[in-house]
Amino acid sequence: MPSPTSSPPAISFENVKKTYRGGQVRALDGVSFDIPCGEFFGLLGPNGAGKTTLISVLAGLARATEGRVRVMGHDVVDDYAAARKALGVVPQELVFDPFFSVRETLRIQSGYFGVKNNDAWIDELLENLGLADKAHANMRQLSGGMKRRVLVAQALVHRPPVIVLDEPTAGVDVELRQTLWHFIARLNKEGHTVLLTTHYLEEAEALCQRIGMLKAGRIVALDRTSQLLAGTASTMLRFKTDAALPADIAARARVTGRIVQVTAHDAAEVETTLAALRAAGVPVEDLEIGRADLEDVFIEIMQGAQQ
Amino acid sequence: MNGVSTLFYKEVLRFWKVGFQTVGAPVLTAVMYLLVFGHTLEDHVKVYDSVGYTQFLIPGLVMMSVLQNAFANSSSSLIQSKITGNLVFLLLTPLSPLAWFVAYVGAAAVRGLAVGTGVLFVTAWFAPPGLDNLAWVLAFTVLGAGLMGTLGLIAGLWAEKFDQMAAFQNFIIMPMTFLSGVFYSVHSLPGFWQGVSHLNPFFYMIDGFRRGFFGVSDVSPWLSLGVVATAFVVTAAVALALLRRGYKIRS
């Protein structure tokens, strides 16, 4: 990891607050954290937690009520031009300009950033995102998945050192997810910093070195992904049953139809849980014991933050 | 290309790709006005002794087309981008408020001038209006187109739905253009309505523009130039202030 004194962090949030309607709605309530250069960072949180608001403040689409945000050391308000040049944002909404073809769209986007003669890089983006045969198609003719790929290409057209993806895989098929992650992981290896918000926790677990969890406008967890997984209940008991669970187990179980998942911190807790089930006469089918994943950590932290 | 010229180019390309609608149709409309009003009123209306009514009508129709189309370009481009959401591609760029202003208003002026030239070209074939002073013609076209492009930019920022934009266009822009002396000289109006016309900046744009063709006008072209230039500076200042604030485009 680069030492903090040698270069500014890729992204720095400093006590960022955002209120709407004269303070009645508090979307961000003092968010502070840094993302060092080269990191693949995941921002998780339930709907309405403030993820998109935080991205909007970062990208200059919204203004913070209080606090500061910097990209590669450039303040997003006072030095917005430098901050935005350093940033490539893939917006969440599937938007496009129906007047132009894919190549025109990308050339125009390059021009906005003052990048001239960018066709070599545009071709590389089209190739890597599986869009090469769509270069001359009008944006209106593309399927949803193809439009999403163009959004990614547009965000990268000026070769920004910091890439922000706001739920890029929502409603996207498996093939595009694979293509996209392959490409983004490559860019990250080449030194780009990546900030990702996603609903797919397995994605975040697989890709992100560090994770921040946002709830009701506050950061409720911030750690390396491996630490988050280690720090909470790490074992998961999974079984099927039709019977009612004993109260103490029901309280910490996640039930989906017949499927019950209960977390345990260690082997002893697994044994006591199973013993309690047997004592209560709960018949258990298809018992599995596995490692907890990010989803379990997420639920545990979100429940904890509620209390 | 740098940022501002790219946005200018994109805005011009946008209307050029639908040229039948954005340039062809307004030219045809103006020619229809000329045919219908020119034909029916030629023998009944005399505005200036030396100028036939059809001739008198031509500069008014040209200027009206310039003004309406300059307004339509910046306003419709912005509201469409806002409503479809693709304005985000522009909001994410390092383009300054001044760059937005120059590009949107510049492209609006280009469309206004393109339509105006088309109208002049076609209508002059029916009744050549002559040319007294090219400098007045150019000064009023460019300033008028700039002013209306700027108003369109303000309307595009302000409006949140197509209905509001249509209201701006139909209840403010249309009456002001029609009541500015396109089809008549304000001297033919009763005193009270002459006074009202003199409060309408569109009157000065058309009167000054017409001066360039005929060498006669209702008021001094210098007064008209002063009014139009002041109106442009004031609306430009408002538009720039709104862009700096991110009025209705950055939350």
Q: Which one of B73, B79, B92, B248 makes the best mutation probe of the A interface by having the most chain A beta carbons within 10 Å? A: B92
Residue B13 forms contact with A (CB below 8 Å): yes
pLDDT in tens, B21-69: 889 899 999 888 888 888 787 777 777 777 888 888 899 999 999 999 9
| Shortest alpha-carbon distance between residue A99 and chain B (Å) | 6
**Residue A1 counted as domain residue:** no
Examine the pLDDT at B231 and tell me if it is beyond 90.
yes
**Residue A105 counted as domain residue:** yes
Nearest residue in A to B16, CA atom = A99
Q: Strands A285-291 and A162-166: what pairing? A: unpaired
**Residue A207 counted as domain residue:** yes
Cβ neighbours of residue A18 under 8 Å, at least 6 residues apart? A26, A27, A28, A50, A53, A57, A62, A64, A65, A217
| Shortest alpha-carbon distance between residue B151 and chain A (Å) | 23
Containing structural domain, residue B152 = 3-245
Q: Is A191 exposed, middle or buried (0-12, 13-18, 19+ CB in 10 A)?
A: exposed
Please state the domain count of chain A.
2
**pLDDT band at residue B165 under the 50/70/90 scheme:** very high
End position of a domain, from candidates A169, A199, A226 = A226
**Residue A214 counted as domain residue:** yes
> What is the domain-level CATH number for residue A90?
3.40.50.300
- Same domain? A265 vs A219: no
Residue A84 forms contact with B (CB below 8 Å): yes
Question: What is the C-alpha to C-alpha distance for residues B104 and A269, in angstroms, rounded to an integer?
Answer: 67
What element of type H or E holds A11? Answer: strand A11-20
Q: Is residue A196 within 8 Å of A42, Cβ to Cβ?
A: yes
- Same domain? A194 vs A286: no
- Same domain? A252 vs A211: no
Say if the Cβ atoms of A112 and B17 lie within 8 Å. Answer: no
ipTM: 0.89
Question: What is the C-alpha to C-alpha distance for residues A135 and B24, in angstroms, rounded to an integer?
Answer: 30
Q: Is residue A109 within 8 Å of B89, Cβ to Cβ?
A: yes
**Residue A52 counted as domain residue:** yes
- Same domain? A248 vs A265: yes
> Lowest mean pLDDT: which of A52-66, A87-101, A270-284?
A270-284
- Same domain? A22 vs A118: yes
pLDDT in tens, B135-144: 999 999 999 9
pLDDT in tens, A206-233: 899 999 999 989 998 898 888 877 766 5
Residue A265 forms contact with B (CB below 8 Å): no
**Residue B250 counted as domain residue:** no
**pLDDT band at residue B1 under the 50/70/90 scheme:** low
Average pLDDT over residues B169-188: 85
What pLDDT was estimated at residue A306? 54
Q: Which one of A54, A99, A147 makes the best mutation probe of the B interface by having the most chain B beta carbons within 10 Å? A: A99
Nearest residue in B to A61, CA atom = B250
Please state the domain count of chain B.
1
- Same domain? A122 vs A262: no
Nearest residue in A to B9, CA atom = A108
**Residue A31 counted as domain residue:** yes
Q: Strands A74-75 and A66-71: what pairing? A: antiparallel
**Residue B233 counted as domain residue:** yes
pLDDT in tens, A141-174: 998 889 999 999 999 999 999 999 998 877 778 8
Containing structural domain, residue A255 = 233-291
- Same domain? A116 vs A245: no
**Residue B45 counted as domain residue:** yes
- Same domain? A257 vs A211: no
Say if the Cβ atoms of B3 and A99 lie within 8 Å. Answer: no
- Same domain? A175 vs A237: no
Residue A198 forms contact with B (CB below 8 Å): no
